Amino acid sequence: GVRLAPKEKLEVPVLFMPAEMKIYKTQVVIHVMRENGENWPYEVTAESNTDLTRNVTVAENGETQGILWIYPIHGMPEAPQQKSVVIRCEARQRLEQRVELLLIGVVPGESALPDAGNSATVAAGALSNTPEVTDGSSATLEFLYELQYQSDEIRSQLDSLVGMQLLEKEWDTESRIVTLIFNVVFAPSKPMRNTATLVVQCTAGGLWKFPLLFIATEPKVDDVINIAAVGLNKESIVSFKLTSQTR
């Protein structure tokens, strides 16, 4: 019953309030008919294009009675953002730290996300497919995880300094909590303080984000150089070598 003037815009509000961490699918269908009740003279026949026949409603005389716009909607629930995990290491050292992350509200499901590896928001090669998580029953869970950065500048600073590997997975079916244990490697070359976000996605539905704070503290003093004076107003010289770690 919504009337639209020529060139007028129609806003269709969509509310998403998920009850579980799983994929929700629906469609928004807009059905347009002439205000005077007349049909469009175009007749839809058996030879008409399949997409065309799906997007129109046909009157008894074969004329077009209404036009349909169909918008598929996929709802992906996202868990509240967790507290930051701090990874602290002294510059020019190498740290390996086990990080335990809890995924709350996981719902097992057989269907995976379509084209999950081709998402436009994911950098090529950054999305990792993890092994399955099982509890001994027929239910199976699969996860995708990726380390995201706030900017390309931060990515260039951390990409070669940070490594992550999924070590263990545990699933408590009663509490519906999946525990993922990662091994994080941090090898900073100089002092810094940068953030990243570990994004975990369940193929059955659900998205969890875990902020990571990488802190590289000042390195220890390499050596102490003593210069002995040979006399007043006379130069004293000492030489030492510096080796670059990069080209």
Residue 134 has pLDDT above 50, yes or no: no
| Alpha carbons 184 and 181: distance in angstroms, whole number | 10
The vertex-118 CA angle with 128 and 21, nearest 5°, equals 70
| CATH number of this structure's domain 85-108+141-217 | 2.60.40.2310
pLDDT of 25: 93
76-117 pLDDT per residue, tens: 999 988 889 999 999 999 999 999 999 988 876 544 333 333
Do residues 182 and 167 make contact, with C-beta atoms less than 8 angstroms apart?
Answer: yes
Candidate from 115-124, 129-138, 142-151, 215-224 with smallest mean pLDDT: 115-124
Q: Quick: pLDDT tens for 20-58.
A: 888 999 999 999 998 888 888 877 777 777 676 678 888
More confident residue, 155 or 108: 155
Q: Are strands 207-217 and 85-90 parallel, antiparallel or unpaired?
A: parallel
Distance between CA atoms of residues 94 and 188, nearest Å: 7
Higher pLDDT, 118 or 194: 194
How many whole angstroms separate alpha carbon 128 and alpha carbon 180? 14
For the chain, what are the domain ranges? 24-75, 85-108+141-217
